[in-house]
Amino acid sequence: MEQRKLLRVLAGETVTPPPVWLMRQAGRYLPEYRATRAAAGSFLDLCYNPDLATEVTLQPIRRFGFDAAILFSDILVIPDTLRRNVRFVVGEGPQMDPIAPHEIAALDPTHAETHLAPVIATVARLRAELPTETALIGFCGAPWTVATYMIAGHGTPDQAPARLFGYRHPAEMDALLALLAEMSADYLIRQLRAGADCVQIFDSWAGVLDELSFERFSVGPTRRIVERVRASVPAARIIGFAKGAGPLLERYRSGTGVDAIGLDWSVPFSHGAALQRGGPVQGNLDPLRLIAGGRALEEGVDAILDQLGAGPLIFNLGHGITPDAPIAHVEALLRRVRG
Ligand SMILES: Cc1c2[nH]c(c1CCC(=O)O)Cc1[nH]c(c(CCC(=O)O)c1C)Cc1[nH]c(c(CCC(=O)O)c1C)Cc1[nH]c(c(C)c1CCC(=O)O)C2
């Protein structure tokens, strides 16, 4: 029998208690991460250093025994491969050179193979070093979410620059998303071949799109990734996380063909349970309940287990863990989920 609980759930099985991992589980809330990060130099140096990236991926597994490890990297390594001058400014988040419509045709993906080789080496190292029962998750950003950063040159509250770009320059937007979809699929295929057990596609900014744009900019390019990955790795298991897409999630699943749907905390349980009748779901604790701890944490965990625990569920937060999450609260979450 498959030992990795997360893979059993992705195959459609209900596992009790459910497997649990946390988005962004390797990160600044851990003192050991902060120490490795300080020794690494820049954030991207850490992503491209197989020794250190392996170390920070394993840190939360050693400390908490999560059921899955997620490769330590970032969705913005793809624009970095495209030489967009990506940098992570402490306290300000990611920055890069904003791309203009006329520059898109000249983007050159040919550096990807060599540029991303250290990340693929990290995947192979991780699969060799992880406990047998721990699943290894690879990932990429969805083309739309990666494009929002490439167009604005930094994070914005509502991704207005990328939305306007899509309305004013639809052909260039389609070309950019098609390139990102192709590069992302190739990147996921390499991760799967190097030892990732499954992959997650992060569409963190899906929720700012209207229905027409969601179909064109989120669903279509994600479907191209799924098709291309499955053409090379037919057994690939894929989790799609379209944050904020609530009422469109059924459409997202049927339109993209992902195996499992990530839920953010705004998705009602009734909707999550309806989605779950068609396949596994992952989520969806508000990360702020983890910061608050106590009753807020317990009732949040219990509600997810009560409402979604009878079907295929991967327990997770509804978005990434934040740097101010207390370690004792992560331990309390795990005790509550595992009973
Ligand atoms: C939008 C996005 C990014 N990166 C990612 C997303 C999608 C998920 C989401 O919505 O949170 C995904 C991501 N980023 C990181 C991982 C590693 C694996 C893990 O989940 O533990 C993963 C899966 C490391 C990281 N990526 C980043 C850090 C913190 C940087 C540091 O340590 O200096 C980490 C651990 C930096 C980053 N990277 C990104 C931003 C906006 C930021 C700045 C915000 C912040 O600082 O939290 C882009």
Model pLDDT, residue 117 = 98
329 marked ligand binding residue = no
**Full strand arrangement of the beta sheet holding 68-70:** 68-70, 135-141, 198-203, 238-242, 260-262, 281-285, 313-317
pLDDT digits (tens, 9 = 90+) for 247-300: 999 999 999 999 999 999 999 999 999 999 999 999 999 999 999 999 999 999
**How distant, in Å, are the alpha carbons of 199, 222, 277 from that of 142?**
12, 6, 25
Q: Is the CB of 320 under 6 A from ligand 1?
A: yes
pLDDT at 2: 82
CA distance 213 to 24: 28
Question: Is domain 5-338 annotated with CATH 3.20.20.210?
Answer: yes
The pTM is what? 0.97
Q: What pLDDT, on the 0 to 100 scale, is given for residue 89? A: 87
Distance from the alpha carbon of residue 142 to the mean position of ligand 1, in angstroms: 14
**Can you give the pLDDT at residue 103?**
98
Q: Which atom of ligand 1 is nearest to the CA of 73?
A: 17
Those residues of the chain that have pLDDT short of 50 are none
CA 258, 214, 200, 221 torsion-angle sign:
positive
* Per-residue pLDDT at 90: 84
Q: Locate the DSSP E strands across the chain.
A: 68-70, 87-89, 93-95, 135-141, 198-203, 238-242, 260-262, 281-285, 313-317
Q: Which tokens belong to 254? A: 């049927």
pLDDT attached to residue 270:
98
Q: Is 335 a catalytic residue?
A: no
Tokens 């193979």 correspond to 113
Instruction: Tell me if 236 CB under 6 Å of ligand 1.
Output: no
Q: Is 24 annotated as a binding residue?
A: yes
Q: Compute the distance from residue 12 Cα to the ligand 1 centre, in Å.
A: 29
User: Is 235 annotated as ligand-binding?
Assistant: no
Radius of gyration of the CA atoms of the chain, in A: 19
**Amino acid residing at 333:** L
Across-strand partners of 144?
none
Q: Return the pLDDT at 91.
A: 84
